[in-house]
DNA sequence: CCTTCTCGGATACCGGCACTATCCAAGCAT
DNA sequence: ATGCTTGGATAGTGCCGGTATCCGAGAAGG
């Protein structure tokens, strides 16, 4: 398959594919001669994954490169590779430790984890990007005068835990490790928009049930 | 309060505040003379809301303007105002109706709503941005060869419905309509990062429970 | 063999976005 | 009076995801 065919089959313009090649999001094709390179199904698959990350997941190009770098890093054991890939995804601003709202948020989150008995998450607290972004978000909420305390968050966290159980159950239905890794990345990137859409739809449904259509 | 004080109290640079004033995200202050304008607590509050939308929610400036326009539109009844504000939030690419994956996704989503008995959501299908973005995401997943069918989505949708019930219960604890509207917008914008973080934390917790830390 | 077409690679450029820097004249403080 | 600060106007910046242009090497057709 040549560049032009890769383009038509993926629906991505040749110029953009060249850009991805330049940026290292796509491995170079097998060079046949100075003017021809050959691509295979694996390239097509990778290209679609990249597009999904960028377009659906709004992941910046630099982050995509980092994530794929971990996926392809054969020097690491697979579980670590997956974790590394997922952890390089979020683009979290570092919480400002001196900010009073950040400090309050940290206490709330710590109280939440205690209440839930999430012992593993507590151990990951200092390093997990998810933990940091939770703190940042809670602090933003508090700054606006809305207390989002542990007792309010706990039921949400319970529901999210059930969601995570579903996620892992689904992942385990995939037999090959390769597929599992790709599925997990897609899960982190495309599942979340799906969850978010379901959440908003559910809000609309529930609002209509309670108050009608407001007409 | 003058511009400089508004800046120090909010932590936003005067240049950026001027930019927001220009863009209409912030109403102009009360002009005292040609070189002085007076701002009040309401401005500070609005500024913080704008910042939260832009920084935490990653909402584009143009969308913030639209959302706030609906919030401030006194010609509409309050419930409609709220709905209009929330619906102008998502930045959804229009699904391409001719795409085979989009068509399949539409059928899956329709089947899902039937299965769940979300009659209200079905009625909203043609106009709701949440519905459209769900279709786009499901189509993206299918394009990569992973079927995300109604039977797999249903348990997720159930959990999201429970989340929505919590959302509305929380909203109803706020007595004033003004506060409810602001809270709902914040819910749509800041709650979602919180939910997302909780989801990822829960995934880490559950992964560790099942497989340990991989060491 | 010669012409014409297409290919892939390199480079420069573009448009949108969220700011940011500079300038200016009017007023206030000393 | 004089230097500093204020708010408004305008132009510029940096990043990011792509796009357009150019080029020389090879393939295709007569």
| Strand D bases within 7 angstroms of protein beta carbons | 5-10, 16-21, 24-27
* pLDDT band at A62; cut points 50, 70, 90: very high
**How close, in Å, is residue A19 to chain B by CA atoms?**
21
The residue with greater pLDDT, B85 or B163, is B163
On the question of pLDDT at B142 being above 70, the answer is yes
Provide the chain A residues 133-192 that lie in CB contact (below 8 A) with chain B.
Answer: 133-134, 136-138, 140-141, 143-144, 146, 148, 152-153, 155-157, 159-168, 170, 183, 186, 188, 190, 192
Q: Are A131 and A121 in contact (CB under 8 A)?
A: yes
Q: Which residues of B touch A146 (CB under 8 A)?
A: 183, 186
In sequence order, what are the residues at sequence separation of 6 or more whose Cβ sits closer than 8 angstroms to the Cβ of residue B116? B154, B157, B158, B161
Partners of residue B30 on adjacent β-strands: B38
Structure tokens at B115: 């299965």
Q: Which class for A147: exposed (0-12), middle (13-18), buried (19 or more C-beta within 10 A)?
A: exposed
* pLDDT band at B211; cut points 50, 70, 90: confident
Q: Which class for A63: exposed (0-12), middle (13-18), buried (19 or more C-beta within 10 A)?
A: middle
* pLDDT band at A65; cut points 50, 70, 90: very high
Structure tokens at B170: 């929380």
Q: Mean pLDDT across the stretch A25-39?
A: 86
On the question of pLDDT at A214 being above 60, the answer is no
Which residue in the block uniquely carries the two structure tokens 């709905």?
B83
Strand D and A54 CB separated by under 7 Å: yes
Residue A25's Cα: distance from chain center in Å? 17
Distance, in Å, from the CA atom of A167 to the CA atom of A195, rounded to the nearest integer, reads: 11
Distance, in Å, from the CA atom of B71 to the CA atom of A5, rounded to the nearest integer, reads: 49
**For the ranges A30-34, A67-71, B121-125, which has the lowest average pLDDT?**
A30-34
pLDDT for position A110: 94
* pLDDT band at A36; cut points 50, 70, 90: confident
Its pTM stands at 0.85
Q: Alpha helix locations (H) across B34-126?
A: 41-51, 61-72, 78-87, 100-116, 119-124
Distance, in Å, from the CA atom of B12 to the CA atom of B49, rounded to the nearest integer, reads: 12
User: Which of the given ranges, A28-37, A150-159, A178-187, has the highest pLDDT on average?
Assistant: A150-159
Residue B95's Cα: distance from chain center in Å? 20
pLDDT in tens, B33-83: 877 889 998 899 899 989 988 988 889 999 999 888 888 887 877 777 777
- Please judge whether B128 and A193 are an interchain contact, meaning their C-beta atoms are less than 8 angstroms apart: no
**How close, in Å, is residue A24 to chain B by CA atoms?**
21
- Please judge whether B159 and A162 are an interchain contact, meaning their C-beta atoms are less than 8 angstroms apart: yes
| Percentage, residues of chain A above pLDDT 70 | 98
Strand D and B18 CB separated by under 7 Å: yes
pLDDT for position B19: 94
Distance, in Å, from the CA atom of B182 to the CA atom of B67, rounded to the nearest integer, reads: 11
- Please judge whether B128 and A160 are an interchain contact, meaning their C-beta atoms are less than 8 angstroms apart: no
Q: Are B39 and B1 in contact (CB under 8 A)?
A: yes
* pLDDT band at A56; cut points 50, 70, 90: confident
pLDDT for position B179: 74
Q: Which nucleotide is nearest to B50 (CA to C1')?
A: C18
On the question of pLDDT at B115 being above 90, the answer is yes
Domains annotated on chain B, with CATH: 3-87 (1.10.1660.10), 100-211 (no CATH)
Strand D and B35 CB separated by under 7 Å: yes
Structure tokens at A184: 């997990």
- Strand B30-33 relative to strand A30-33: parallel, antiparallel, unpaired? unpaired
Phi-psi region of A196 (alpha: psi -120 to 50; beta: other; left: phi over 0): alpha
On the question of pLDDT at A76 being above 60, the answer is yes
pLDDT in tens, A108-120: 999 999 999 999 8
Residue B202's Cα: distance from chain center in Å? 22
* pLDDT band at A213; cut points 50, 70, 90: low
DSSP3 helix / strand / coil % (chain A, rounded to 5): 70, 5, 25
**Which of A82, A101, A125, A140 has the highest number of chain B CBs within 10 A, making it the mutation to test binding with B?**
A140
| Strand C bases within 7 angstroms of protein beta carbons | 6-11, 17-22, 25-28
On the question of pLDDT at B214 being above 70, the answer is no
- State which residues between 24 and 43 of chain B bring their CB within 7 Å of strand C: 33-36
CB atoms within 10 A of CB B127: 9
On the question of pLDDT at B215 being above 70, the answer is no
Distance, in Å, from the CA atom of B10 to the CA atom of B94, rounded to the nearest integer, reads: 37
For B48, the closest of A144, A204, A209 (CB atoms) is: A144
Long-range contacts of B42-49 (CB under 8 A, 24+ apart): B43/B1, B43/B6, B44/B1, B44/B6, B44/B9, B44/B10, B45/A144, B47/B6, B47/B10, B47/B12, B47/B17, B47/B20, B48/A143, B48/A144, B48/B10, B49/A144, B49/B182, B49/B185, B49/B186
pLDDT in tens, B160-208: 999 999 988 988 887 777 777 777 877 777 788 889 899 989 988 888 8
How distant is C1' of C2 from CA of A35, in Å? 20
Q: Which residues of A touch B159 (CB under 8 A)?
A: 159, 162-163, 166
On the question of pLDDT at A167 being above 80, the answer is yes
């Amino acid at each position: 398959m040549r560049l032009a065919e890769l383009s038509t089959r993926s629906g991505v313009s040749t110029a953009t594919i060249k850009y991805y090649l330049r940026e290292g999001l796509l491995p170079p094709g097998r060079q046949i001669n100075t003017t021809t390179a050959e691509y295979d199904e694996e390239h097509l698959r990778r290209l679609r994954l990249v597009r999904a990350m960028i377009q659906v997941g709004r992941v910046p190009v630099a982050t995509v490169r980092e994530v794929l770098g971990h996926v392809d890093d054969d020097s690491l054991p697979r579980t670590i590779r997956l974790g590394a890939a997922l952890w390089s995804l979020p683009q979290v601003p570092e919480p400002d430790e001196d900010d009073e709202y950040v400090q309050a948020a940290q206490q709330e989150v710590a109280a939440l984890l205690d209440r839930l008995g999430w012992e593993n998450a507590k151990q990951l607290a200092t390093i997990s990007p998810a933990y940091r972004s939770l703190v940042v978000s809670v602090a933003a909420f508090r700054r606006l005068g809305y207390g989002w305390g542990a007792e309010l968050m706990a039921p949400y966290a319970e529901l999210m835990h059930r969601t995570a159980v579903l996620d892992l159950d689904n992942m385990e239905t995939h037999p090959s490790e390769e597929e599992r890794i790709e599925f997990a990345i897609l899960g982190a990137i495309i599942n979340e928009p799906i969850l978010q859409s379901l959440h908003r739809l559910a809000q609309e449904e529930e609002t209509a049930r309670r108050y009608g259509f407001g007409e």
